[in-house]
Amino acid sequence: MENNQHELYEYARQRLKQKKHLYFHFVLFFVGSIFMVMANKLLNIKPETNWYQWGIALWGFLFVLHFIRVFITDSFMNKKWERAQIDKLIMKQERKLEQIEKDFNQKNNITE
């Protein structure tokens, strides 16, 4: 397998793994939410409060963060984006070094 094809394969495999974990998290969230409601209402665990609402809300918030990470953040902040950012930072650093060298040469009247 060619290096470029291998990178594409690894990226696809990683994305599939992320999505698989997200779907599993959703199923776990759904089943856990049902369990919390049943524990509170049917099993009478602290029936004087509706604590399951807080549990579901907190877990739902964590699920939304997981969803954002998989489908929004990681979809555009991938290896290609990382390489572009690294290249941009390297170019910026090289320009700064050139400017420092130029200023040093001008200050000390050094000609190239």
Residues 6+ apart with CB under 8 A from 79: 7, 11
Cβ pair 74, 18 in contact under 8 A: yes
**pLDDT tens, residue by residue, 71-81:** 888 777 777 77
Share of the chain above pLDDT 70, in %: 96
Question: Is residue 68 located within the same domain as residue 90?
Answer: no
Question: Is residue 56 located within the same domain as residue 111?
Answer: no
Question: Is residue 24 located within the same domain as residue 71?
Answer: yes
Cβ pair 69, 75 in contact under 8 A: no
Cβ pair 3, 16 in contact under 8 A: no
Residue 23 pLDDT = 96
Q: Which domain holds residue 87?
A: 78-112
Per the prediction, the chain carries an average pLDDT of 87
Report residue 59's pLDDT band, with 50, 70 and 90 as the boundaries.
very high
Question: Is residue 13 located within the same domain as residue 60?
Answer: yes
